[in-house]
Structure formats: C-alpha cells, structure tokens
Amino acid sequence: MTNKDVSPRPEARLPKGLQDISAQEIRAAEAMLATIRGVFERYGFEPLDTPAIEYTNTLGKFLPDLDRPNEGVFSFQDDDEQWLSLRYDLTAPLARYVAENFQSLPKPIRRYQVGHVWRNEKPGPGRFRQFTQFDADTVGASSIAADAEFCMLAADILEALGIERGQYVVKIGSRKILDGVLERAGLNADDKSKHLTVLRAIDKLDRLGIEGVRLLLGSGRKDESGDFTKGAGLEPNQIQAIVSFVEAVGGDRDQTLAELKALVEGSSVGEEGVAEISAMHDLLSAAGFGSDRVVVDPSVVRGLEYYTGPVFEAELTARIKDKRGQIVRLGSVVSGGRYDGLVERFTGETVPATGVSVGVSRLLFGLQLLGKVQGDAIEGPVVVLVFDKDRLADYQRIVQELRTAGIRAELYLGSSGMKAQMKYADRRGSPCAIIQGGDEKAKGEVQIKDLILGATLTSIEDRAEYLKQQAVAQFAVPEADLVTAVKSVLARQKA
C-alpha cells in the first residue's frame, strides 16, 4: 500500500459559529433554567416540545434574514424531495402546532418551551449559529393584559435569579406607534422593505448610538471595517421625526406617553398604539410594577417583521465588568412582543398571540459576571482507587455501596498507578478518595483521604498542628462504617 492509498486523518476542529459546553456551564444553565421554569409555572404556563426540524415552507417569510430568503436557516431535502429546515426560533413551530391542533386546544393557549435553535448567519463574538431559547407564549388572547403580563413575567424572572431592582429594566415599545410616526412623516405604508430597514436601523440604537441610526435612516453607514450598509434613504424631515420618536423616553411612563401621543396625533394606528401602551401602564401600576421596573421606551422595536403591536425587552443595567475589568454591555436578555398574524398563515383567520423569549446564553453570561450563578460549584464524585487490579470486584462493591447511599461515586477505570490516580481524583474535583490495599483488606478496613483538607496541609507551619490535621485528612475505618465516614467528611467540607 502506498502513502497515497492512506486516507488523511480528519482535522479535529469545531465548526464555525458553534461551541462545546462544559459540565460546569451545563449545570449553571440547568440551575438557571429551573428557576425560570418555576416562574413560568407560577404564571400558569404549560410545557410543550416541538421538533427541531420543520418543513421549510412552515417557516415562511418570517426567516431572520430578509435578504437571503430560505438561506438564513440550515436546510436539506428528505427522500421525498421535501425541503426541511432546522428551526431558527421556537415561535414559528408554535404557530404550526397551534394551527394543526387548534380545535382541540383550550383557548387561550399558554405554553413554555426550551430548546436549541439554529441560525445560518455570520458568527461573531457572542453570536453563535446554535443557541438556546426559553419561550413563553399566550395564543388566542387579544386582551392587552396578556402583553402586560409578559412584562411582569420578565421582571419576576430576573428577580427570581437574584437581579435586584435597579439592576435591570423592562422596556415597552409599540409597532403601531412607530407606524403612526412613519405615517405622519409621509412614508408609504405599502413599502414593506423600507419599513423593515427603518425598524432595523432603530433596533441598532444601543450599539450605534443616535448618530449611527441617523446614517442608517439616510443614505447609509460605513462601519469600522469599511463595510457599507445601505440606509433607508429618508428625507431629513422624516429622519428627524423618527429621531424625535426614539428620543421620547423618560423615567416616568405618564410623561413618555404624553410625548408619544403628541407625535402620532391624527394617525389612527398611532393613537391605537398609544392607547394600548396606556392600558398596559394602568395594569402594571395596579400590579405594583412601577417605573422603577418597567418603562416606556419607543426605541424598542425588535428586528423581526412579524411583530404587530406592543414589543418589550429587558436588559441588565448593573455595571457589569469582564475578567479584564472592562465594562460589558449585554443588550436585551429577555424580549418579545405581539404577533397576531403568524398563525393566520396556516388558518386564514387572525389568531391573536403574544410571547416572550429568554436569551439563555446571554443571560447566563450576565449572571456569571454578576456572581449570581447557581449550580456551577457541584463537587466531583468520590473516587475509589484501584490498588490491586486483581480485586476489581471488591472495589466495584465499594462504589456501589456509596451510590446506593446516595453518594456520587466512581471507580477509577484507567490503567495508571496510584500517584496518577490521585492526580485524576484531584482533577475531577473529588472531595475524597477511597483506598484499600492488601493490608486494609486483611483488616476489613478502608482508607479515606480527604482531598479538600489535604490540599491545605502544606500551608501549616506548626509540626504538631500538621500531624494533627494529617490524621484527620487520611484515616482508616471498618468497611461497615464506610458510608457513615464518607458522609461525615462531606458534611465537614460543607460546614
């Protein structure tokens, strides 16, 4: 066989825009998701799971990238030459599910769902092609109370996760108010492409600032890399009308609503939007959610096309610093809005709907930087070392005895000697190791080595104290007392 006949080894590399997730990160995320799930359940939402794969035409025109229809998702054909796609969010599959089961479902439908979604987009820092969403939606309720409830839900989620009032804000905007502003500015309502360009320009306010938004509303903007983004091509008076709308925000909801009312006066759709947000304001106030938690912010428009009414998002306002001491701005960690037209694609009838989505990765990152993550300090398993390879059955019995008692434990399954096994136990974060050589077996004993206490012995300078602590860090007990002794060590470490 020649060298040419040998298949080249594949390169071990992660696909662009994806990430591996460690045990520590998984546990932290699971603890956070459990807290969020508890809030969803408290609000009366029920769990639902839909497949990760849908027919591509189910996703329809609501794909995330308008410039590349059906290319913003990962798609493939099945044996019947039907196009299938990985879901890009959890809302489009929900619309399909509701339409397919509409007659048998109780209305309104209240569901929550957590799962991976995929975007075939250019990856970047903190922007992955696969990520997790955690959604809650109410379908079949036209009442503005459903939208107000999601603003309350967002605030309660953040507080349940340990974010104090003053460290977050929930912001409410309205597509109808924006439509009213655009109408008064003389924009053609039928020009959907221009309207969407305006939406996306406003949606970049946090990142680009008001001057960057002005450029995107006008001829366009060149970024730091030299790439040029074509703008909406609006006239100066139209740009100023939109800027005035975006800047009509203050801490007091009544004041902001008064400014917005003046901006849309004479526009029926705009006045309807103000009336809806005013009703939400009354409901929020009655429930005790004041302007210290929820504000009206016209700059919140959300980028996706399918929103039809109130939109909302929550962001962390606490000064968050990364490991280098740099200030981190996360953007929204919870977002959503009303989308009354999504189910209609399937049924031909308007089905009102509103919902909220938690950005799991972004929120978890923020909680980690704020030191509010739970579940990331899970101790490793008790490791039973293999002193004599001919006695694997004895060691396996010891492991099973610990597991039966509810103690996390594992048998060392490698082929290394004792020194390497101890290193392994350290790297696993093991609280203690179990050792039984021939002498211990003959006496009916086991040695328990407290690895947490043992790691501190080198810092003890007094010899008498060192010997005293060493006797505590490693000691022998009868086999019958193994479980009791291990539980005692674990309790001491947690004290």
pLDDT on residue 69:
47
138 — phi, psi (to 5°)? -120, 120
Q: Of the ranges 70-74, 146-150, 275-279, which one carries the lowest mean pLDDT score?
A: 70-74
pLDDT on residue 135:
96
- The residue ranking higher by pLDDT, 466 or 156, is 156
Q: Of the ranges 36-40, 170-174, 193-197, 351-355, which one carries the lowest mean pLDDT score?
A: 193-197
Q: Of the ranges 216-220, 302-306, 418-422, which one carries the lowest mean pLDDT score?
A: 302-306
Confidence class for position 2, pLDDT limits 50, 70, 90: low
Cβ pair 493, 452 in contact under 8 A: yes
Q: Name beta bridge partners: 222.
A: 228
Cβ pair 454, 473 in contact under 8 A: yes
Q: Is 424 helix (H, G, I), strand (E, B) or coil?
A: helix
pLDDT tens figures, 4-28: 666 788 899 999 989 999 888 899 9
pLDDT tens figures, 58-72: 886 544 444 444 567
Cβ pair 87, 135 in contact under 8 A: no
Asked whether the bond before 108 is cis by omega within 30 degrees of 0, the reply is: yes
Looking up tokens 């909406």 gives: 232
Confidence class for position 55, pLDDT limits 50, 70, 90: very high
Cβ pair 94, 306 in contact under 8 A: no
Compute the distance between CA of residue 266 and CA of residue 422 in angstroms, rounded to an integer.
77
Q: Is 203 helix (H, G, I), strand (E, B) or coil?
A: helix
Label residue 231 left, alpha or beta by phi (over 0 means left) and psi (-120 to 50 means alpha). Answer: beta
Q: Which of 65-79, 100-114, 318-332, 457-471 shows the highest mean pLDDT? A: 100-114
Confidence class for position 125, pLDDT limits 50, 70, 90: low
pLDDT on residue 300:
84
Cβ pair 122, 339 in contact under 8 A: no
What are the structural domains of the chain? Answer: 23-369 (3.30.930.10), 382-494 (3.40.50.800)
pTM above 0.75?
yes
- The residue ranking higher by pLDDT, 191 or 350, is 350
Read off the pLDDT of each residue in 165-189 and give the average, rounded to a whole number. 87
Across the chain, mean pLDDT equals 87
Sheet arrangement for strand 130-139: 46-47, 109-118, 130-139, 353-359, 332-338, 310-316, 168-174, 294-296
Compute the distance between CA of residue 180 and CA of residue 24 in angstroms, rounded to an integer.
48
Compute the distance between CA of residue 357 and CA of residue 136 in angstroms, rounded to an integer.
7
Beta strand 228-230 with 220-222 is antiparallel
Q: Of the ranges 45-54, 295-304, 356-365, 401-410, which one carries the lowest mean pLDDT score?
A: 295-304
pLDDT tens figures, 81-124: 888 999 988 999 999 999 999 989 999 999 999 999 998 888 77
Compute the distance between CA of residue 86 and CA of residue 73 in angstroms, rounded to an integer.
7
Q: Name beta bridge partners: 296.
A: 172
